[in-house]
Chain A
Amino acid sequence: MAPDRKTLIGRVFPDVKYHISEEDLKDYVAVAEETHLSFMNDGDARAVGYERRVIPPSFAPYISIIGLLRAFDWKEDFYLDYKTGTAMFGEQELEYLRPLYVGETLTIHSSVTDVYEKTGRRTFDVAKITFTVTDEQGVLALRGAQSYILFK
Chain B
Amino acid sequence: MTRPPKRTIAPIFWLLFGAGGMLSALFGTGLVIVTGFLLPASPPSYQAAAAILHNPLAGLVALATIPLFFWHGAERLFLTLKDMRAGPRPLLALISYGAAAVGTLVTILLIFLMEFGS
Same complex:
no
- Interface residues of B, Cβ cutoff 8 Å to A: none
